[in-house]
Amino acid sequence: MGFNLEKVVPWGRSFKEYCAMFALSESDLKKSILGAGDGPASFNAELTEQGGQIISADPVYKYSTTQIRQRIDAIFDDMLVQVTANADNLRLDKFGGAKQLGNVRMQAMEIFLQDFAKGKQQGRYLDIELPNLAFTDTQFDLSLCSHFLFLYSEQLGAEFHIQAILELCRVAKEVRIFPLLDLSHQPSVHLEAVILALENKGFLANIEEVEYEFQIGATQMLRIRNMATHLRRNGGSP
């Protein structure tokens, strides 16, 4: 079955949140970046505004601005109800409550919606989906994947995760994925299999703490580098 807008829950995060989730430094922001599954996040729009180089890949980009806006409007109130019902598992205090979180998400999605048509024309938003990315090997310095891989561990199996992450490693020199918890706020059941598969292929996969927490306990990202490149840069030390 193909990708269907009715199944998407558009809920975009901001540039500030991406920087915190992925521990992005000033020099990271100068790299050529692939955002996998960026959806209606404002990271692409805001980074581009600052002169950064980014392409976002997401099947939702096959739809128009109007269609994505309609979908956002259709689910927004329900998302706030779900957030409120789930409050015990979320750091809503960081936003000042569910309503304020909704405002932050809506602001980010509005920035995305304002940028989408122009960005699509410029080739910054591509209707491409994991696990097959139509990019050349190491086309990007860095690939980021926020709130897609590992989060949907119940819906997407270990094989999908392994294929998708190996594909991200093919097209980018470094990959960072956040969060490592699933939608039930449990550590992803696929994490161990993914790390093993990556190590077998010669990648270095590290779990690192970051200065971001929204789902309670989701404070870690997975950073993956090519072992040979990494050792060369560090004079042989891991």
Q: How far is the CB of 182 from ligand SAM (least distance, A)?
A: 12
Pick between residue 81 and residue 228 the one whose CB is nearest to ligand SAM: 81
Q: How far is the CB of 233 from ligand SAM (least distance, A)?
A: 28
What's the CA gap between 179 and 30, in Å, rounded?
23
CB-neighbour burial class of residue 238 (10 A; exposed 0-12, middle 13-18, buried 19+): exposed
Q: Which residues have CB under 8 Å from 162's CB, separation 6+?
A: 190, 193, 194, 197
Pick between residue 13 and residue 161 the one whose CB is nearest to ligand SAM: 13
Q: How far is the CB of 192 from ligand SAM (least distance, A)?
A: 22
Long-range contacts of 93-99 (CB under 8 A, 24+ apart): 94/213, 94/214
Instruction: Locate all alpha helices (DSSP H) within the chain, ordered by sequence.
Output: 15-21, 43-49, 65-85, 98-121, 158-171, 191-200, 227-233
CA distances (Å), origin 66, targets 55, 77, 193, 200, 231: 21, 18, 40, 45, 48
Q: How far is the CB of 9 from ligand SAM (least distance, A)?
A: 6
Pick between residue 76 and residue 148 the one whose CB is nearest to ligand SAM: 148
Pick between residue 217 and residue 230 the one whose CB is nearest to ligand SAM: 217
Q: How far is the CB of 164 from ligand SAM (least distance, A)?
A: 7
Alpha carbon of residue 30 to chain centroid: 18
What's the CA gap between 223 and 71, in Å, rounded?
32
Which residues here bind ligand SAM, judged by CB under 6 A?
8, 11-13, 36-39, 41, 58-60, 129-130, 146-148
Pick between residue 163 and residue 230 the one whose CB is nearest to ligand SAM: 163
Q: How far is the CB of 113 from ligand SAM (least distance, A)?
A: 13
Pick between residue 100 and residue 229 the one whose CB is nearest to ligand SAM: 100
